[in-house]
């Protein structure tokens, strides 16, 4: 009957209204909690990202180990072994010493040793670290023994010798700088290393192998802070060998003349 149908519809509406009120009482506090959680999560992510970007933008001495560096915070969730593979031994004073610890654990690895020497070359430029040329040469020679067919170590030593034996000086009234010899004996030693390098079958930096191995240690994720962390890690890897080789071949023609 129409009257019965109307009555039933009213009951249904009343029940639905009651359910709506109940749902509203549950959902409103839940949405507030969710909003607070999302805000906190966003703030936490943003703080991590900002610290990573600040690290990328720093111009200070990156070779001295910082007590609270971005990687110890950003990658603290990784296992101790993975952190060691990524950063070496953080208790050591210089970055090259940290990376040397990784090679010490894998003394047959040509990849780890080449990476260590690259970073040692970067540390060698830092006057505050007091790295002697004798120590650098000894470590380069060790690399030559480990990888005797690789011209990389001879080129690196030649480049350092050239940098020590000559310099570019500004000349008053001229835009171009003039290349000036400071110690010809060092340049002659550099030529000896270049001749050794020429006789070797290959030149390998092992950088692609090193980067692939390191990047495989990072977790696969779509989280923005993890991606920026990976980018920050890559950006923090020094490549002083490129500058040394560039300067070597820039200066070499002046010496040959």
Identify whether 13 is part of a domain. no
Range of weakest confidence among 23-32, 117-126, 166-175, 204-213: 23-32
Q: Output the 3-class SS for 102-167.
A: HHHHCCCCHHHHHHHHHHHHHHHHCHHHCCCHHHHHHHHHHHHHHCCCECHHHHHHHHHHHHHHEE
**How far is the CA of 40 from the CAs of 44, 47, 53, 54, 63, in angstroms?**
6, 10, 20, 21, 34
139 in a structural domain: yes
222 belongs to a structural domain: yes
Tell the burial category of 111 from Cβ atoms under 10 Å away from its Cβ (0-12, 13-18, 19+). buried
Assess whether pLDDT exceeds 50 at residue 176: yes
Distances (CA, A) of 24 to 8, 9, 17, 221: 24, 22, 10, 36
Tokens matching residue 176: 């171009």
Answer whether residue 30 is part of any domain: no
| 151 domain-assigned | yes
**Can you read off the two tokens belonging to residue 178?**
């003039």
For residue 34, is it within any domain?
no
Residues spanned by the domain of 105: 58-256
pLDDT digits (tens, 9 = 90+) for 109-150: 999 999 999 999 999 988 766 779 999 999 999 999 999 999
For 179-212, write each residue's pLDDT tens digit: 899 999 999 999 999 999 999 999 999 999 999 9
- How far is it, in rounded angstroms, from Cα 65 to Cα 97? 10
Number of domains the chain is built from = 1
Residue 40 lies in a domain: no
Distance, in Å, from the CA atom of 125 to the CA atom of 122, rounded to the nearest integer, reads 6
Question: Looking at the domain assignment, is residue 121 inside a domain?
Answer: yes
Say what angle helices 80-87 and 95-105 make with each other, to 10 degrees.
120
CA 137 to chain CA centroid, nearest Å = 25
């Amino acid at each position: 009957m129409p009257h019965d149908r109307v009555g039933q519809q009213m009951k249904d509406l009343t029940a639905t209204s009651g359910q709506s009120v109940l749902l509203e009482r549950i959902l409103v506090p839940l949405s507030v909690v969710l909003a607070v959680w999302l805000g906190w999560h966003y703030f936490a992510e943003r703080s991590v990202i900002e610290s990573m970007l600040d690290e990328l933008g720093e111009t200070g001495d990156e070779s001295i180990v910082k007590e609270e560096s971005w990687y110890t915070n950003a990658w603290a969730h990784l296992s101790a072994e993975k952190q060691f593979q990524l950063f070496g031994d953080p208790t050591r004073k210089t970055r090259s010493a940290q990376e040397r610890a990784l090679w010490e654990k894998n003394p047959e690895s040509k990849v780890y040793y080449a990476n260590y020497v690259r970073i040692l070359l970067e540390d060698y430029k830092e006057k505050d670290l007091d790295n002697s040329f004798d120590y650098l040469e000894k470590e380069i020679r060790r690399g030559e023994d480990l990888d005797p067919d690789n011209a990389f170590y001879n080129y690196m030593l030649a480049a350092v010798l050239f940098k020590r034996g000559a310099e570019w000086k500004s000349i008053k009234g001229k835009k171009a700088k003039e290349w000036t010899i400071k110690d010809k004996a060092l340049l002659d030693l550099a030529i000896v290393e270049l001749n050794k390098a020429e006789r070797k079958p290959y030149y390998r930096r092992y950088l692609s192998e090193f980067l692939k191995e390191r990047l495989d240690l990072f977790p696969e994720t779509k989280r923005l802070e993890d991606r920026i962390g990976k980018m920050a890690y890559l950006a923090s890897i020094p490549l002083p060998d490129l500058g040394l080789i560039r300067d070597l071949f820039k200066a070499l023609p002046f010496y040959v003349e």
